[in-house]
């Protein structure tokens, strides 16, 4: 008997392999660009941090401005062809940058190099706004049932976390020993692997829904379809509730990502060299939580996983804010990431449970830009509070002293706990309402807008259309 290891099923395994290779390529590419800009192009320059931040801004611009419209096209186009096309575009773009990188750095002005980098990052992430929802919909066709869909989402998150453990250590040796060209070439090759993996997947296009098989000449305009998708989202109380819960959940993660280094050196009295161990704790915790999420969802259900995850993670963030020993903080941070990852995984099937197939791209195109914007704003708010609004804050309650950083963490944790309490009632059980089917959610193509009637989805296995993709990285994940 031949041993043939698979993850969920053969088709998902092939897509996963392509994702795994390309995710490592993403991590190598992103880390290489930051190192190249910081240590070569802007070495010793006072504007070095701003030059590096330009890479992040290019990424965010693609998500915020291209993402919402990309969903309309993804819903129109063949999903497999969309995935293949974006891989060709991105692979060719990185290959072109690789060719230019063979020139000595001094042969081109720094402004030209930075322009090439920012443009490449912008286009790559813009293309990923088409790839990600297309892959989202494709996986939904051959992964069924709550447990398997949560498991698929967990595997995707664990793969992305692992890639960021493997990729950065590879980037520095590639850059400083063999040169920027080969670090970029590694990523270009990862697009080729992803392309081959997608080509090998047998994707049978789903039959068109009743009333949706009209010829393209009768298809409503782009603006009208975008408006219909937005109206569908807004009219679904369940989708709006999920979005609000996700935005509130960004408070804890946004505060940590911005202020954790200051918490480590100030509150924990640790050296900056030890800060990496906190990142390692979150990475390992993310992998463990993602791999365990499928079993947890199967055991207690996606809804219960979501609201319990919010409450537990918020309470753990409050506990983390009171840590004064580095070892204890590492342990609490590891445990904190477990429910965060699990609730992210559980939200994936819940998100698509309320979304008929023809709206998947547009729903995702609303959800991710809003959550990305929320992450940016919460990170900026946390930075402002720590650096200005609460910079000189200090106090004590019952003999327990509070400073600016731990206060921000504690308040953020309490808000997340409150969000979990709200989620307990905003996300009804499987018997509370029928599933939102295509007939309920399909908008009219005339002037009157359609949309969901506000019914929440059921929680029965098989109702969920599929797992959610990972959040885009600096360059964009696949």
Q: Are residues 166 and 256 in the same domain?
A: no
pLDDT in tens, 51-73: 877 887 788 788 888 887 888 88
Say if 195 falls within a structural domain.
Answer: yes
Domain total for the chain? 2
Q: Are residues 101 and 190 in the same domain?
A: yes
279: its two tokens:
């990142």
Q: Are residues 435 and 329 in the same domain?
A: yes
Contact of 403 with 415, CB cutoff 8 Å: no
Q: Is 471 left (phi over 0), alpha (psi -120 to 50) or beta?
A: beta
Q: Are residues 108 and 243 in the same domain?
A: no
Residue 300 structural domain = 222-441
Q: Are residues 288 and 327 in the same domain?
A: yes
Backbone φ and ψ of 281, nearest 5°? -60, -40
What's the confidence (pLDDT) of residue 289?
Answer: 84
Neighbours of 113 (CB within 10 A): 21
Tens-level pLDDT at each residue, the chain (478 residues): 344 456 778 888 888 898 888 888 888 888 888 888 888 888 877 887 678 778 877 887 888 888 878 888 888 888 889 999 999 999 999 999 999 999 888 889 999 999 999 999 999 989 988 998 888 788 877 777 666 777 777 788 788 778 877 877 788 788 888 888 888 998 899 999 999 999 988 766 544 444 444 444 455 677 788 788 888 888 888 888 888 888 887 776 777 777 787 888 888 888 766 776 787 787 788 888 877 877 888 788 878 888 898 999 999 999 999 998 999 999 999 999 888 888 777 777 777 677 777 787 788 777 878 887 787 777 778 777 877 777 777 776 666 677 888 888 898 899 889 888 888 887 655 434 334 443 343 443 333 333 333 333 333 323 333 333 333 333 333 3
Say if 146 falls within a structural domain.
Answer: yes
Q: Are residues 226 and 187 in the same domain?
A: no
Q: Are residues 184 and 83 in the same domain?
A: yes
Q: Are residues 196 and 254 in the same domain?
A: no
293: its two tokens:
């999420």
Q: Are residues 261 and 386 in the same domain?
A: yes
CATH number at residue 326: 1.20.1250.20
Say if 454 falls within a structural domain.
Answer: no
Say if 455 falls within a structural domain.
Answer: no
Say if 4 falls within a structural domain.
Answer: no
What's the confidence (pLDDT) of residue 49?
Answer: 67
Say if 470 falls within a structural domain.
Answer: no
Q: Are residues 174 and 251 in the same domain?
A: no
Q: Are residues 318 and 358 in the same domain?
A: yes
pLDDT in tens, 416-465: 898 888 888 876 554 343 344 433 434 433 333 333 333 333 333 233 33
Say if 59 falls within a structural domain.
Answer: yes
400: β partners: 397
Q: Which of 202, 234, 251 marks a domain boundary?
A: 202
Q: Are residues 350 and 285 in the same domain?
A: yes
Say if 394 falls within a structural domain.
Answer: yes
């Amino acid at each position: 008997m031949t041993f043939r290891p698979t993850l969920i099923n053969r088709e998902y395994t092939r897509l996963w392999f392509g994702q795994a290779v390309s995710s490592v390529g993403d991590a190598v590419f992103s880390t290489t660009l930051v190192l190249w800009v910081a240590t070569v192009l802007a070495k010793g320059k006072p504007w070095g941090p701003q030059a590096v931040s330009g890479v992040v801004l290019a990424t965010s611009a693609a998500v915020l401005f291209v993402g919402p419209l990309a969903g309309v096209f993804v819903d129109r186009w063949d999903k497999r062809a969309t995935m293949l096309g974006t891989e060709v575009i991105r692979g060719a773009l990185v290959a072109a940058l690789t060719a230019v990188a063979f020139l000595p750095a001094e042969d081109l002005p720094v402004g030209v190099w930075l322009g090439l980098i920012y443009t490449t990052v912008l286009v790559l992430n813009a293309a990923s706004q088409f790839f990600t929802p297309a892959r989202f919909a494709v996986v939904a066709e051959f992964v069924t049932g709550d447990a398997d869909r949560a498991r698929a989402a967990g595997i995707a998150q664990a793969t992305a976390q692992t890639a960021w453990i493997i990729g950065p250590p590879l980037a520095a040796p590639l850059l400083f020993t063999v040169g920027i060209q080969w670090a970029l070439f590694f990523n270009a090759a990862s697009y080729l692997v992803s392309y081959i993996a997608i080509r090998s997947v047998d994707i049978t296009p789903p039959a068109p829904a009743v009333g949706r098989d009209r010829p393209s000449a009768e298809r409503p305009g782009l603006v009208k379809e975008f408006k219909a998708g937005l109206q569908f989202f807004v009219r679904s109380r369940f989708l709006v509730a999920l979005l609000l819960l996700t935005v509130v959940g960004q408070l804890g993660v946004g505060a940590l990502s911005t202020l954790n280094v200051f918490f480590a050196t100030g509150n924990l009295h640790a050296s900056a060299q030890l800060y990496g161990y906190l990142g390692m704790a979150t990475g390992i915790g993310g992998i463990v939580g993602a791999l365990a999420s499928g079993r947890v969802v199967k055991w207690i259900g996606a809804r219960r996983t979501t609201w319990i995850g919010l409450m537990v993670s918020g309470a753990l963030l409050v506990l983390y804010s009171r840590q004064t020993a580095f070892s204890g903080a590492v342990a609490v941070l590891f445990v904190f990431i477990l429910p965060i990852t699990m609730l992210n995984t559980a939200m994936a099937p819940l998100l698509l449970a309320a979304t008929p197939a023809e709206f998947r791209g547009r729903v995702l195109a609303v959800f991710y830009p809003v959550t990305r914007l929320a992450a940016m704003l919460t990170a900026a708010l946390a930075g402002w509070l720590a650096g200005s609004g609460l910079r000189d804050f200090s106090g004590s309650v019952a003999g327990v002293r509070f400073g600016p950083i731990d206060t921000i963490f504690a308040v953020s944790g309490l808000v997340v706990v409150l969000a979990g309490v709200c989620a307990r009632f905003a996300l009804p059980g499987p018997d509370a309402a029928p599933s939102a089917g295509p007939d309920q959610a399909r908008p009219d193509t005339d002037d009157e807008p359609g949309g969901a009637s506000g019914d929440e989805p059921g929680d029965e296995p098989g109702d969920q259309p599929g797992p959610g993709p990972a959040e885009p990285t600096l360059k964009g994940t696949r």
